[in-house]
Amino acid sequence: MNSEASTPVVHTRLDGSVLVVTIDNPPVNALGVAVRSGLLQAVELAHNSPDIQAVLLVGKGKAFIAGADIREFGKPPMPPSLPQVLELMETGSKLVVAAIHGPALGGGLEVALAAHYRLALPAAKLGLPEVNLGLLPGAGGTQRAPRVMGVKAATELMLSGKHISAAEALESGLVDRVAEGSDPEQAGLAYVNELLAAKAPIRRTRDIAIADKAAALAELDALQAATAKKARGLFSPLKIIECVRHAVELPLEEGLPRERAAFLECLESPQRTGLIHAFFAEREVVKIPEAKAAGPRALNTLAVIGGGTMGAGITVAALDAGLPVIMIERDAESIARGRANVEKVYDGLIAKGRLTAEGKAAIMARYTGSTRYDDIAAVDLVIEAVFEDIDVKKAVFKELDRVCKPGAVLATNTSYLDINAIADSISRPQDVIGLHFFSPANIMKLLEIVVPAKVSPDVVATAFDLARKLKKVPVRAGVCDGFIGNRILAVYKQAADYIMEDGASPYEIDEAVRGFGYPMGPFQVTDLAGGDIGWATRKRKAATRDPNARYVEVADRVCERGWFGQKTGRGFYLYPQGARVGQPDPEVLAIVDAERARKGITPRTFTPEEIMRRYMAAMINEGANVLNEGIALRPLDIDVTFLYGYGFPRHRGGPMKYADMVGLETILNDITTFAQEDPLFWKPSPLLVKLVQEGKNFDSLNTLA
Ligand code: 3HC
Ligand code: NAI
């Protein structure tokens, strides 16, 4: 009888009087319909067999259960539902114990919460991260977690989406015991047999009373106020609090259906679509053709050329990943400054109590500063981050070509320069690649991996391996002016300038962009980054600019006054006494007015909706061009670029996903309408036109052939 309830993904075997139920659904034991059916059968078997005294739930492989099968969301639901399975499990007559040795997340933790006892092994990771997907725990998590670990701790766990360790779970009461080892079956059986010997009662979570209800409700009020402030239009966090309120006020039987209804509401929300797209997209970006063709080269040592803003940030990122780094600068004074730039980051952490002096010393032991290129002869990978000047960069690459060992990967962090030209200037173009980090490089997650024409596939694979080691999110990009991100940015920034000159103030534009879900608007970003950087680029490109193209000079007028943003106390905003949040500046508005007058423009009003229609249409149209030219592999690569490098609101999935959700026809219609005013700027991308003609969306291009 021991395999009566076994299915391909849920195995059962009898060990004495204990039914061991193993979930075996690689890679992460997600609770797809087959697992739910298998679990239901196993629970029914235990229920109906007098020989079975207890059930032990374990997961095969690395995970206990990583949650619901995310790929099923948005498709017609298939019975049995998880709440139905858990109802039977919790109310049944046999003792159920969960032994957790890896991720027990979302629905996975909800399974454990419906068990009567919970054991964790040291590698367990527990959490209710549904909020990250625009959802809430929909199989009793909002009702059972507060009963087991207290209202405040449970709500915070759900609102943060954080994973906690076995030790933390024990401390919060989420698990009953932590056992040594890594074999959940062995540790679980020992625990179950101990419980049986002690005649431990069937302890149903639903029967646990929430102690001080008034205090719990007050805690929820406080959490609700804090969440409403920072949720920036997100739907599910407030729903989570509402459900926990029901857990406090109602018996479980009444709380559960309310939770289910709220879960289904979240499931229907476009925020869920956007967030789940982001979840899969950030896992898809590493799937690139070169990784199929070749493995990475050895990568144990690094050199960084230049110790300025980017060189120092990249060095910190590499040191933090445990890699030894040799930094090269021009002279003794510059290398001292480079080292100081690196140390400043760690001193900041020490000041905040997040690092000790010994910790810093241990990290800095991996750092070497030098002014001699010969010192980097043996490194595996070099990242050049010197001035943005093709001749300076070529001179550096000439030195790298001279000293570096054969097979060393030679990377440039250039923002705009032609990497093919850099590669062709040395004897080994196959080893040259772009690694475009974002500032601050030790913090920002995005890494554009720019693939020049002659690079060999194993160099590309090595760059992706570096990203993994540095915990960055890599996106493969082709060579062009600005690659994926900065190229598209230049276009929608231009759209923002046009909107400003036509009538909206920079402050109205920033507000509309924040209202869409960005943390900052484009003019705030300019002030943060320093207006001088864009100004220098505009001057460099002035000679090659199309004389017929519309050019807005407001930013130049602001820069001419030395107003470069936060660092000068003034830019598009005023920053009195070093304030971090700027105030609108009437003098900037006067500059805008003067520019309008000079060009004979009568300002008109823009609603936030119209501002965003134009802003997004410009972004999406250039995104389509970038795709059409093969600069981005898939629409999802553009989405990930903007989610991780440009603050695009995650719940909207990224610009290309957003376009799909709005409908490509609508976007194209907008562009065609705007083109009546300025046909040079608003040229519909041929790819967008083609997709609309064929009735397709961007998502249809997300699967690589
Ligand atoms: N459903 C379907 N597929 C999943 C999945 C899930 N819940 N979780 C992970 N996967 C897939 C990934 O897409 C990836 O697929 P791929 O190899 O084809 O790209 C594969 O499993 C491995 O995932 P990772 O690359 O992320 O592996 P890691 O080892 O780095 O991380 C993990 C493992 C910590 C479990 C991580 O995958 C994770 O956080 N998963 C999501 C957990 C989650 O959000 N659970 C809640 C789901 S919603 C829910 O449960 C609702 C319930 O309340 C009713
Ligand atoms: P920076 O001016 O802060 O630093 C450049 C450093 O390079 C200076 O310390 C300088 O002494 C050093 N240097 C110059 N010539 C050298 C040489 N021949 N050998 C060794 N060192 C030399 O500049 P920043 O901002 O760090 O930019 C560096 C590169 O990174 C540029 O290509 C830039 O376009 C790119 N970049 C900059 C970003 C930013 O936000 N600042 C973002 C992404 C890329």
Q: Please, what are the averages of pLDDT over each run of 10 residues along the chain (705 residues)?
A: 74 97 98 98 96 98 98 92 97 97 98 98 98 98 97 98 98 98 97 98 96 95 93 90 97 97 95 96 96 95 97 98 98 98 98 97 98 98 96 98 98 95 98 97 97 98 98 98 96 98 98 96 95 89 92 97 95 93 97 98 98 98 98 98 97 98 98 97 98 98 85
| Domain CATH code at residue 521 | 1.10.1040.50
Q: What is the pLDDT of residue 705?
A: 67
Q: Does 92 fall in a domain?
A: yes
Of 479, 512, 528, which one is at a domain's C-terminal end? 479
- Give the model's pLDDT for residue 4: 64
Same domain, 526 and 426: no
pLDDT of residue 524: 97
Q: Is residue 274 part of a domain?
A: no
In the sheet that holds 164-165, the strands lie side by side as 103-105, 125-127, 164-165
In a domain, 578, yes or no: no
Q: Is there a catalytic annotation at residue 677?
A: no
Regarding whether 196 and 219 lie in a shared domain, the answer is yes
- Within this chain, do residues 432 and 308 fall inside the same structural domain, yes or no? yes
Domain check: are 235 and 350 in the same one? no
Whether 112 contacts 104, CB under 8 Å: yes
Q: Using a 6 Å cutoff on CB, does residue 471 contact ligand 1?
A: no
Q: Which residues contact 102 (CB under 8 A, 6 or more apart)?
A: 59, 61, 62, 63, 64, 123, 124, 125
Residue 584 lies in a domain: no
Return the bridge partners of 98, or none.
57, 118
Q: Is residue 275 part of a domain?
A: no
Number of domain units in the chain: 3
- What does the pLDDT read at residue 2? 45
Contact 328, 374 (CB under 8 A): no
Q: Is the CB of 129 under 6 A from ligand 1?
A: yes
CA distances from 332 to 75, 307, 335, 376, 545 (A): 63, 12, 5, 17, 40
Q: What is the largest CA-CA distance in the chain?
A: 91
Residue at which a domain ends, from 479, 495, 524 = 479
Whether residue 388 is contained in a domain is answered as: yes
Tell whether omega for the bond before 80 is within 30 degrees of 0, i.e. cis.
yes
Q: Is the same domain home to 232 and 349?
A: no
The answer to whether the CB of 86 is under 6 A from ligand 1 is no
Question: Domain containing 143 — which CATH number?
Answer: 3.90.226.10
pLDDT of residue 230: 83
Centre of ligand 2 from the C-alpha of residue 414, in Å: 9
Residues 237 and 138 in one domain: yes
The question of whether 358 is a catalytic residue gets the answer: no
- On whether both 245 and 367 belong to a single domain, the answer is no
Residue 55 lies in a domain: yes
Query: Which atom of ligand 1 is least distant from the CA of 161?
Result: 44
Q: Which residues pair with 584 in a beta bridge?
A: 573
Residues 324 and 217 in one domain: no
What residues are paired with 381 via a beta bridge?
A: 302, 409
Question: Which residues form the domain of 248?
Answer: 10-267
Kindly list the protein residues whose Cβ atom lies closer than 6 A to any atom of ligand 2.
Answer: 305-311, 328-330, 334, 385-388, 392, 396, 413-415, 436-439
> How far, CA to CA in Å, does 28 sit from each of 52, 285, 417, 526?
28, 19, 42, 43
Which atom of ligand 1 is found nearest the CA of 129? 44
Give the global pTM: 0.95
Same domain, 57 and 201: yes
pLDDT at residue number 590: 98
Q: Is 577 left (phi over 0), alpha (psi -120 to 50) or beta?
A: left
Residues 211 and 113 in one domain: yes
Which of 245, 267, 289 lies at the terminal end of a domain, its last residue? 267
Q: Are residues 197 and 224 in the same domain?
A: yes
Q: Which residue has tokens 């060992």?
A: 405
Enumerate the H helices of 365-439 as residue ranges. 390-403, 419-424
Q: Are 54 and 95 in contact (CB under 8 A)?
A: yes
Tokens of 414: 């250039």
Task: For residue 384, give the ligand nearest its CA.
Answer: 2
Tell whether 253 and 358 lie within a shared domain.
no
Tell me if 165 is assigned to some domain.
Answer: yes
**Ligand 1 nearest atom to the CA of residue 132, by list position:** 44
CATH of the domain at 389: 3.40.50.720
- Is 68 near ligand 1, meaning CB less than 6 Å away? yes
Cβ pair 12, 2 in contact under 8 A: yes
